[in-house]
């Protein structure tokens, strides 16, 4: 009987420990946001985009290098973390449905 109680207690403590580990882990949910760059300023680590519905939205970025090569008018996808900061900015290429070739024509 005593041995059974000890086993139950160890199981309970183990489950409690695992629960604490999972609760203590941060949630890394990222959201992708698409739009056209209105402004990008690496010095203040901020980007403003115009969403497809016409709304403007502004995001802080996690580092200056994320905005390297990003200019006004670029179509981009931002990966925005649960903290509201963009951790990645990816420049999109034009698609044929937009009337432009997806890549330079080959000769």
SS (H, E, C) 12-80: HHHHHHHHHHHHHCCCCCCEEEEEEEEEEECCCCEEEEECCCCCEEEEEECCHHHHCCCCCCCEEEEEE
Domain presence at residue 105: no
Domain presence at residue 25: no
CB 34 within 8 A of CB 51: yes
Kind and range of the H or E run holding 9: helix 2-24
76 has which bridge partners? 35, 91
Per-residue pLDDT at 78 exceeds 60: yes
Domain presence at residue 6: no
Domain presence at residue 74: yes
The enclosing domain of 81 has a CATH number of 2.40.50.140
Q: Supply the mean pLDDT for the chain.
A: 78
What's the pTM value of the predicted model, to 2 decimals? Answer: 0.61
Integer Cα distance of 71 and 41 in angstroms = 9
Domain presence at residue 20: no
Domain that holds residue 62: 31-94
Question: Among residues of the chain, what percentage have pLDDT more than 70?
Answer: 64
Number of domains in the chain: 1
* Rounded average pLDDT over 98-104: 44
Kind and range of the H or E run holding 106: none
Residue 99: helix, strand or coil by DSSP? coil
Domain presence at residue 103: no
């Amino acid at each position: 009987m005593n041995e059974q109680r000890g086993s139950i207690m160890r199981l309970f403590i183990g489950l409690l420990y695992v629960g604490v580990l999972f609760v203590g882990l941060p949630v890394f949910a990222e959201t992708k946001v698409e739009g056209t760059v209105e402004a990008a300023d690496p010095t203040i680590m901020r980007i403003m985009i115009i969403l497809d519905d016409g709304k403007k939205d502004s995001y802080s970025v996690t580092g200056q290098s994320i905005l390297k090569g990003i200019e006004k008018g670029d179509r981009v996808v931002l990966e925005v973390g649960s903290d509201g900061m963009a951790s990645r900015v990816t420049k999109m290429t034009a698609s044929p449905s937009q009337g432009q070739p997806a890549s330079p024509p080959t000769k």
